[in-house]
Every structure is written in C-alpha cells, then in structure tokens.
C-alpha cells in the first residue's frame, strides 16, 4: 500500500467514525424534550451527517471498484425482495422531493439468484438518486424484471424519470457523470459512477432510453447465476437480549457502539482501556465483548490474552475485535490472541446482529 493510499484509508476511516458519532449524538438528542426549533436543528444536523456518511461510503466503494477488483458477497437472494428494499430506502426521500415513487417487480414470485444484495441496491441507489435530483414533480419509476435463462437469471432494472438534459443520453458515461456532478452535486454523481462500475464489474450493461416529453429511462442488465429458493435466508434478530461490554478509549466510539446495542434491546457497559476491560470481564456477566485494538496502556490484544486466562465463563466470553486495521496478517494475529472475529470500524448494525448470533451458536475460544 502506497503512502497516499495509507493516508486515504486512515482519513476516511476517521471521518466515518466521527460521522457515526454525530449521528449517535443526534439520535440521543432527538429523544430529549426539546423545543420545536431545537428539534428541527437536531434533525438538520442528523440529515447533514447522514449525507456526508453516504457520500463517503460511496467514494470508498468507488475507489475500490476503480483501483481493485470489485468486492462481492454473493448469497441466495429472492429477487422480489430487492424491490421491497428499494421502496423502503427511497419512499421517504421521494416524498420530501414532492415526487411519487412507483416500484414494480416482474418475474416469478419466488425467483432467486446468487447475488450481492448490497451491490444490487447500490445500483438502484445511484440511478434513483439521479432521477430524483432531476425530477421537479410527477413520478419516478423503478422496476426489476427477472428472466430465467438456460444457465441462470437475467435481470433487467429500469429507472424512469425526467431527463435532466435530452443531449446527455448520447454522450459518454464520464461526460455524463461530470455533468451530473455540476448540476446535482457530488453525492449524486458518485452514486451514478459507482452504479455504473458495479454493473460493469458484474459483466452487465447500461443503456439510456430517451422518451417523448423529456423523459428518460436508465436500463441496466445483469446476468446472474440462479440459486435455490430454499437457500434464501435473511439475517435475523438476536434470539434474546444480550449484555455487551464495549471497550474503546474514544468516548464517541463507545457511544456509537452502545447506541447499536440499545437499538437491538441489548444492555451494555463500557470500559476505557484494556485494564478496565479485564477487570470488568472477571465477573463473567458478558455475552459479548467488543474490543478496540489500539488503546493506551494495555491494548486490545493484550487484554484479550488476559481475559482468556481467566477461569470459567469469564475467560470464555466471545470477543470481537473492532479495528480500522483488518489486513490479513492483523486478522490472523487477533484470532491467534483468542478473539472470535474481527469487524472493521465503524461497526454496522447487521455486523452486531451477526456477532450476537455467532456468540450464541458457536463455542467461545478456550
């Protein structure tokens, strides 16, 4: 990794953590009894932080898609559920823009494909972001058609909205994206570019159809392997509330992790360093320990080794490393120290759910 890439990764990871902290604080403030003007200010802060977070995530994904092979996590996916997710993600934003969102699925009701749900949603996110930015009123349509083929499934996604400029459809992708950035802003443009990169990385195609009345449809097609319906499984909630120890020397990071625990009705305690974590773990009352790696004094690796040396339940508590450094060698070292898994900061809700489920179903490290 070159020095510029190293600093890009560190800076973006730090900004993501700070934005997660702002969002967590805004969530806490929104639960307080505030005057209407103060509530509006809190909502504005949360909206701005969420916008920065979305743009940063897309920029990181775009960089990876541009400089490296596109990272994919394919799994059996029931295709009609994709459009349910699209509607849930975009209904409120369309309403705020004064636009009616129409979502449709066309295909076998139980059709499944081996696909990366998040990447497929990012494709719709990019093209819907552009369509909503260009729409002043009326409707924006998003549809997905699933067509079984001899060796899998062909998906045809369509996003129809007002054409921002009738001449754009005839221009190259890069020129179009630059014009989107000039007119609608950087967040929309990054989303469009990422959507096109994902489709290209999946060996698909993107086309523009211009219609009468200055309307335009973005059409993307993706060939995907078929998957058996019985293999489809959506992440579930933890079976019962858990008691979690959050270990981090940064107060904002602790608050973010504890807010995630609260979201899933889990209780939590916090420790500021490794020594405090070991002392708290002696009680054996934790179902899961979220352990930061880099801390002053006793770091996360040393704390994990000390906890594993404790007798009985206390020494067997599942420990998940939270770190911005998740290179293969680092991960191997964390697992060798006795940790059960590694999650990159900032932790996402679905990662906490998965960590809780594994903590309940897998034997802890001895």
Tokens of 361: 């179903």
**Can you give the pLDDT at residue 93?**
82
- Domains of the chain by residue range: 3-67, 75-231, 243-361
Between 126 and 62, residue with greater pLDDT: 126
**Can you give the pLDDT at residue 234?**
46
How does the average pLDDT of the chain come out, rounded?
Answer: 81
Please count the other Cβ atoms lying within 10 Å of the Cβ belonging to residue 17: 18
Mean pLDDT calculated for residue range 104-122: 89
CATH number of 243-361: 3.40.50.2300
Instruction: State the pTM of this model.
Output: 0.57
In whole angstroms, give the CA distance from residue 77 to residue 81.
Answer: 8
**Can you give the pLDDT at residue 274?**
93
Report the range of poorest mean pLDDT among 30-34, 61-65, 80-84, 340-344: 61-65
Tokens of 301: 């690796």
Q: pLDDT tier at 231 (50, 70, 90 boundaries)?
A: very low
**Can you give the pLDDT at residue 131?**
84
In whole angstroms, give the CA distance from residue 220 to residue 201.
Answer: 13
Q: Summarize pLDDT for 271-293 with one digit per residue, the tens.
A: 999 999 999 999 888 989 999 99
Share of the chain above pLDDT 90, in %: 22
CATH 3.20.20.80 fits 75-231, yes or no: no
In whole angstroms, give the CA distance from residue 119 to residue 202.
Answer: 10
């Amino acid at each position: 990794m070159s020095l510029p890439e190293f600093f890009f990764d560190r800076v973006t990871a730090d900004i993501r953590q700070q934005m997660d902290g702002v969002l967590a604080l805004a969530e806490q403030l929104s639960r307080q009894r505030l005057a209407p003007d103060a509530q509006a200010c809190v909502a504005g802060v949360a909206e701005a932080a969420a916008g920065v977070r979305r743009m940063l995530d897309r920029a990181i994904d775009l960089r990876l898609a541009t400089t490296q092979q596109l990272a994919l996590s394919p799994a059996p996916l029931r295709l009609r559920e994709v459009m349910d997710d699209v509607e849930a993600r975009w209904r409120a934003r369309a309403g705020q823009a004064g636009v009616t969102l129409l979502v449709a699925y066309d295909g076998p009701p139980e059709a499944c494909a081996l696909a990366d749900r998040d990447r497929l949603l990012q494709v719709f996110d990019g093209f819907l972001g552009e369509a909503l930015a260009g729409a002043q009123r009326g409707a924006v349509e998003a549809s997905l058609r699933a067509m079984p083929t001899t060796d899998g499934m062909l998906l045809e996604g369509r996003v129809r909205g007002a054409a921002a400029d009738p001449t754009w459809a005839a221009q190259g992708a890069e020129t179009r994206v630059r014009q989107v950035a000039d007119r609608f802003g950087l967040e929309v443009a990054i989303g469009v570019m990422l959507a096109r990169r994902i489709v290209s990385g999946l060996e698909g195609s993107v086309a523009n159809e211009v219609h009468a009345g200055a309307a335009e449809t973005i059409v993307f097609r993706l060939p995907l392997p078929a998957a058996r319906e019985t293999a489809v499984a959506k992440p579930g909630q933890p079976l019962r509330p858990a008691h979690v120890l959050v270990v981090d020397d940064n107060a904002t990071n602790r608050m973010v992790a504890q807010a995630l625990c609260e979201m899933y009705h889990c209780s939590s305690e916090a420790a500021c360093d490794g020594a405090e974590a070991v002392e708290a773990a002696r009680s054996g009352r934790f179902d899961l320990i979220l352990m930061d790696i880099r801390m002053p004094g006793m770091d996360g690796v040393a704390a994990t080794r000390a906890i594993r040396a404790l007798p009985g339940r206390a020494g067997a508590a599942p420990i998940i490393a939270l770190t911005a450094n998740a290179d293969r060698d680092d991960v191997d070292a964390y697992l060798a120290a006795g940790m059960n898994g590694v999650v990159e900061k900032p932790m996402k809700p679905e990662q906490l759910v998965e960590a809780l489920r594994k903590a309940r179903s897998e034997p802890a490290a001895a």
